[in-house]
Structure 1
Amino acid sequence: MIGTQVLVTGATGFVGEALVFRLLRDKVFSPVAAVRGETRLSGLCRVVAFDMGDRALLPPLAGIDVVVHCAARVHVMNDLAEGALERFRKINVEGTVRLARSAAEAGVKRFIFVSSIKVNGEMTLPGVVFKADDLPAPLDPYGLSKREAEDALRAISVETGMEVVVIRPPLVYGPGVGANFLSMMRWLERGAPLPLGAIHNHRSLVALENLVDLLNVCISHPEAAGNTFLVSDGEDLSTTQLLRRMASALGVKPRLLSIPSWVLKTGASLIGRADLAQRLCGSLQVDISKTIDRLGWSPVIGVDDALKRTAYQYQSRQRT
């Protein structure tokens, strides 16, 4: 296995870089980092240039056995402006197809695609969970682009014989996390009063370490080929529970105001932020039983330990 060459795209990103470090640590596979700019991986493994938006810049694929495709135009909240779908398609669909076709032509055996739970949809109803084999129901431009990329990859697999594996993660958190999760930690540490003390939803999350472990398994597991898998920590939390447990990891006392969720939803709608209210108050649960049954995989770290590691890295960075 040590001779297996694994190209990781988006290797300067949150997930891609963590996967490369995991492969370097384990010394089972040989990682090749495909990056768009400078990287701290230089000198640790082979680094090659790759830009999803540049038709002329594809990574060298000769000798590569497996591609783990983490690079993407990422989702940002409220990205519903005119032309958003075409911008996502240019990177997430067209760029992915170019890479996959080049990989197949070069003899790559397996292509692992980091997709998104948004392919399943935006929310789940009480008592309902998303499953890997549900009919896709994406609603926003990002989710639509990921679904189109998945469909294109499956067609390429049928045409060329290259194995395709699709992973759909929900919100990923862990050391170095950014965006809304980072903002949440800042609010909690500053003691900001948050009107989120009475939210009784259920949301699946996945720790970076758990997602990376699953990707590592999918590099070589024979049952991964041709399948779509969902991933989570195996424990769903309400927004209120997440805030309380994140505060505990940070060593602070949360200031949570018990405002009914219907009040929050109404207020958010009045200021044009119904999408934000949905993420804070709505449910999104995933069923990982297929992942467990087919791959013999289970989460390697629990929620509280993952939150502690996230908090430790955040606070260490604040002190430097």
Structure 2
Amino acid sequence: MGKNIVLTGSGGFVGSRFVRLNTNKYQIKTIPWQQLTESSLDLSDVETIVHLAALNHRMGKVPAQDYMKSNFELTKIFANHAKSNGVEHFIYLSTVKVYGEKNIDGRAFTEADTCNPVDAYGKSKLDAENALRSIESDSFKVSIIRCPLVYGHGVKGNMKRLIKLARSPFPLGFKGISNKRTMVFVDNLIALIDKIVEHRESGVFLAADDHSISTAEAIHMLRTAMNKKSNLFEAPGFVVNMIGMLAPGLRTRLFGSLIFDNTVTKKQLNFQNPYSSQEGFGSMILGEIN
């Protein structure tokens, strides 16, 4: 049995998958939300903390103070307690939303780019990153993983809606849409976390599949995994413009681009994703079917 690891967020999408894949690899102790700020929390003999627990981004109105309390304040208290109890390595799952909502001049964001979050969620995660970096030392290493959309079996949110769209029997008007979005298959993300645990490497890292994909490519891979034809057509420009006027957020998610380049992460850790996007999409749909 390997390292002693404390995992938060074990009931979430990524956390539950981490436990399933690593039960025989690490000695994993899970801690629920309500115990993270307890001063009596026993972290003796813990080498590494993987902090996944968070109030994740939600469509609609979530008060900014809720994000700050859950993502910044809780993380700061927990990390300080961990450091004072001799924990050597703190791995924090952050978000690419710390960069903002769109690329500058079409250039992919990298690990070194300036952060400019535009919403309360992104700001709360960046504040947590900064708090962690401020207490980092030779005896308390901090690793920050910035994540784009994570997909896999059991996913919710935008990808769940895209799967529902792909399941429909109707032709879809995404042909010719040349947008690009960076995502990460959950098993690739967990492989990256494992690599960081192994190397005990500090710094900022980006999780990403090897190739960014368009909405049309995503629908094609989903329908292929469902043994269906892509059945895509090119929507007239006025339809796309109408979507933009009536639902600008939807237009951005369906037709906008947001890309990231994690070449530095892969080189620094000598890391390669174990799965392609096509394999990830296939696994996701297989899980949905079964």
Pairwise CA RMSD of aligned residues? 2.1
Distance 1:91 1:248, change over 3 A: same
Report Cα offsets for 1:213-257 as digits up to 9, x if no partner: 0001111304x22x1011211111111111111110111234434
Report Cα offsets for 1:90-114 as digits up to 9, x if no partner: 1000111111111111111000000
1-structure distance, mates of 2:180, 2:41:
40
- 1:174 paired with 2:148, answer no
The one of 225, 230, 234 equivalent to 2:210 is: 234
1-structure distance, mates of 2:64, 2:238:
31
Query: 1:70 aligns to what?
Result: 52
The one of 232, 245, 261 equivalent to 1:270 is: 245
- Contact 1:34–1:59 (8 Å) recurs in 2: no
Report Cα offsets for 1:11-53 as digits up to 9, x if no partner: 011111111222214x2x2111223xxxxxxxxxxxxxx337x
- Contact 1:58–1:99 (8 Å) recurs in 2: no
Query: 1:252 aligns to what?
Result: 228
2-structure distance, mates of 1:213, 1:109:
20
Deviates more, 1:148-157 or 1:125-134: 125-134
- 1:30 paired with 2:27, answer yes
Give the drift of 1:187. 2.1
2-structure distance, mates of 1:256, 1:59:
54
- 1:128 paired with 2:107, answer yes
List aligned pairs for 1:23-102, cutoff 5 A. Answer: 23-25=22-24, 27=25, 29-35=26-32, 50-51=33-34, 55-56=37-38, 59-77=41-59, 79=60, 81=61, 84-102=63-81
- Contact 2:7–2:51 (8 Å) recurs in 1: yes
- 1:103 paired with 2:82, answer yes
Q: Which runs of 5+ in 2 are unaligned?
A: none
2-structure distance, mates of 1:32, 1:192:
46
Give the drift of 1:127. 4.3
- Contact 1:119–1:138 (8 Å) recurs in 2: yes
1-structure distance, mates of 2:37, 2:170:
46
Give the drift of 1:262. 6.9
Q: Secondary structure at the match of 2:31?
A: strand
2-structure distance, mates of 1:239, 1:298:
24
- Contact 1:19–1:216 (8 Å) recurs in 2: no
Distance 1:206 1:289, change over 3 A: same
1-structure distance, mates of 2:111, 2:178:
25
2-structure distance, mates of 1:69, 1:309:
26
1:15 alignment partner AA: V
Q: Secondary structure at the match of 2:83?
A: helix
- Contact 1:198–1:260 (8 Å) recurs in 2: no
Q: What stretches of structure 1 move > 6 A for 4+ residues in a row? A: none
Query: 1:202 aligns to what?
Result: 180
Q: Secondary structure at the match of 2:288?
A: helix
Give the drift of 1:294. 0.5
1:258 alignment partner AA: E
- Contact 1:110–1:163 (8 Å) recurs in 2: yes
Distance 1:185 1:102, change over 3 A: same
Aligned residues: 290
Report Cα offsets for 1:179-214 as digits up to 9, x if no partner: 221222122223244333331111111000100000
- Contact 1:198–1:261 (8 Å) recurs in 2: no
What is the percent sequence identity of the aligned residues?
Answer: 30
